Amino acid sequence: MSLANAKVEAGVPLSNEPHLNSAAEIGKEESYLRVISKRFFKHKLAVFGLIVFSAIVLMAILAPVLAPLSPYDVNGEFGDSPSVEHLLGTDQVGRDLLSRLIYASRVSLAVGIGAVVIYVAIGTILGAIAGYFGKWVDMVIMRLTDVFMSFPYLMVILVLVSILGPSLFNIIVVIGLLGWPSVARIVRGSVLSIKEMDYVKAGVALGLPTGKIVFQHILPNCLAPILVNATFGIASSIILEASLSFLGMGVQPPTASWGNMLTEAQSLTVLASQPWLWVPPGMMILLAVLSINFMGDGLRDAMDPKSIR
């Protein structure tokens, strides 16, 4: 009998070097992420969305470098058409539209990402508590969720922003505090199914702290639906901020946002004869929302457990 066969029969691993065994374990742990990445990058629209969204993020980060002029200074004639000096023309005050368009990406991304971070955190915590403890705790949290979901979302935001004041910080906070119910419902449903699994029951039997069981063993297995919901939430928040700014209750001039740049398009004269005032910000909103939705579709398909082999 060979030495290798003897080791196998004796239950001894073929490699006595621990780093080789740990490397194999790491490879197994990383295989799930590798499968998700491969599936995501096979989704052509998702890859396109990732490229476009990355370009928008880089534009926001490098705004001081990319913007040809200050977005606040008057540098040309009022409502001047596109020219060599002003590639996208000027607005009704004489400010360079290209510079304002570039800086406006910062506002939209700040609202989209900031609001989603707030409401995902709130929804995840409340959903985990409701799903894990159940009984009256679940009933109270779910009835509170129903109350929040029964309000007309946009109207409540308009009222709160008008009371607090239309500023970037207030918009992020208001959207973040009102957007959590959908996440709470998703997390609650996932926790209800996961907490019945054997490894969770084993942790309870071993006397592990509740916080450790929930945050280290249950919530990591709920990440897939949370990430997909957060992705779509960023797109929804960008549209909501643009809507508020268009209605005059969002970010106020002279700060540039894609929504308040569209405010000037309320006139039929502007719509017909000055398209450079509203087409560029409208296109940026369209590209941003489409790219994020494409990424969300790709993530949803890539993280679907029924599709991963």
pLDDT digits (tens, 9 = 90+) for 213-260: 888 888 888 888 888 888 889 989 888 888 888 887 888 878 888 888
Mark out the alpha helices in 134-222 (DSSP H runs).
Answer: 135-150, 153-164, 168-178, 181-194, 198-205, 210-212
Convert the pLDDT of each residue in 9-37 to its tens digit: 444 444 444 444 444 444 444 576 787 88
Element (H, E) at 227: helix 223-246
Q: What's 117's DSSP letter?
A: H
Q: What is the mean pLDDT of the chain?
A: 81
The answer to whether 281 touches 103, Cβ cutoff 8 Å, is no
Output the DSSP codes for 90-101: B-TTSBBHHHHH
- The pTM (predicted TM-score) of the whole model is 0.79
Amino acid symbol at 229: N
So what's the architecture of 32-72+87-302 in CATH? Orthogonal Bundle (1.10)
User: CA 8, 12, 17, 19 torsion: positive or negative?
Assistant: positive
Structure-block tokens of residue 26: 């790491």
Residue 305: predicted pLDDT: 62
pLDDT at residue 76, as a whole number: 67
Task: Specify the length of the chain in residues.
Answer: 309
Longest Cα separation, the chain: 93
Query: pLDDT digits over 147-166, tens only?
Result: 888 888 888 888 888 888 88
The residues, any chain, with a CB within 8 Å of residue 119's CB and separated by 6 or more, are 175, 176, 177, 178, 179, 180, 183, 233
154-158 long-range contacts, CB within 8 A, separation 24+: 154/240, 154/243, 157/240, 157/244, 158/244, 158/247, 158/249
Boundaries of every domain in the chain: 32-72+87-302
